[in-house]
Amino acid sequence: MLSTQSKTILKMRKPKEPKAQTAAYSAVIVEKLSANFRACAPLARSLYNSLQTARQDAPDLPALVSQIEAAMLRGFSTREILRLVDRVGAALARAQRADFRARLKDSLGLDLLTLEPSLEAPLRAFAAENATLVKKLPSTLASEISSLTFEAVKLGTGYPELASKLAERLGISQNKARLLARDQASKLYSDLERLRLKKIGVARYTWRTAGDQRVRESHEKRDGKIFSWAQPPSDGHPGQAPLCRCYADPVFDA
């Protein structure tokens, strides 16, 4: 942190949240998870029936577990996920650029986006991290389907109760997908904001929170204080901590 005082001559509006891009991103993942889960339902039933009539080391059981995993991972190959996250990253970059341009023109009355920074590094990092995070969702769900099915037979749980538990796990995975999309979209958006502000010569910013009860205590203490891009706080600049909704209000020094 640098100080709490600055001679600021200009003011930019708060960045728009990338709600449409985030919703589109999460919707694709949630739909893929749901479709694959539906395809897994008869396989889980077959595994349940086989476990009731055979020893747990019967030769058909590993094959059924493998089929469940393959069905859950359908459409989630590394190549397919990278295509998805590349599209999402490009959409977020376009939206952030348009929003930044409009806010900058409102503040300065000028279009400074001829000073466009290179976005290759943040977009590449976004794609790599998201490919890993997204692929964990169906993989984890596949493991849970099999393990819960084994557990249900061991405990004597009826299939309707098992089906209810499996549906609950799907719901949890869907919620994780929505949180992942929101968190990752926000992080990339804030990274692009930082790069574009630095490119036009902004070296400092005022930390601003979302101003509600969900703000972290540590971030609440930073609200209204001035920081340098060169000296980030312990958990990063605004928007970089998990699900952080804070933003950097640029300081235009006289």
The closest alpha carbon to 22, from 160, 181, 139, belongs to 181
Is the predicted pLDDT of residue 141 greater than 60, yes or no? yes
As given in the structure block, the two tokens for residue 174 are 């869907």
User: Counting Cβ atoms within 10 Å, is residue 88 exposed (0-12), middle (13-18) or buried (19+)?
Assistant: buried
pLDDT at 94: 95
User: Counting Cβ atoms within 10 Å, is residue 141 exposed (0-12), middle (13-18) or buried (19+)?
Assistant: buried
The alpha carbons of the chain give a radius of gyration, in whole angstroms, of 24
Annotate 142-211 with DSSP letters as a single string. HHHHHHHHHHHHHHT--HHHHHHHHHHHHHHHHHHHHHHHHHHHHHHHHHHHHHHHHHTT--EEEEE---
Is the predicted pLDDT of residue 8 greater than 50, yes or no? no
d(CA 212, CA 152): 43
The percent of residues in the chain predicted with pLDDT above 90, rounded, is 81
Compute φ and ψ for 247, nearest 5 degrees: -145, 160
The percent of residues in the chain predicted with pLDDT above 70, rounded, is 92
Confidence grade of residue 131 (pLDDT, cut at 50, 70, 90): very high
Report the side by side order of strands in the sheet with 226-228.
Answer: 226-228, 204-208, 247-251
pLDDT at 56: 57
Helix ranges (H only) for 54-119 are 60-73, 78-108
d(CA 158, CA 33): 24
Is the predicted pLDDT of residue 6 greater than 80, yes or no? no
Q: What is the pTM of this model?
A: 0.89
DSSP for residue 250: E
Q: Which residues contact 233 (CB under 8 A, 6 or more apart)?
A: 1, 222, 227
Confidence grade of residue 168 (pLDDT, cut at 50, 70, 90): very high
Contact assessment for residue 153 and residue 52, using Cβ atoms and an 8 Å cutoff: yes
Q: Which residues pair with 249 in a beta bridge?
A: 206
pLDDT at 116: 78
pLDDT at 53: 83
d(CA 254, CA 251): 9
Confidence grade of residue 195 (pLDDT, cut at 50, 70, 90): very high
Structural element, H or E, at residue 130: helix 120-155
What are 40-76's pLDDT values in tens digits?
999 999 999 999 887 656 668 899 999 999 999 999 9
What are 66-114's pLDDT values in tens digits?
999 999 999 999 999 999 999 999 999 999 999 999 998 887 777 766 6
Compute φ and ψ for 148, nearest 5 degrees: -65, -35
Is the predicted pLDDT of residue 254 greater than 70, yes or no? no
Calculate mean pLDDT across residues 23-27.
Answer: 97
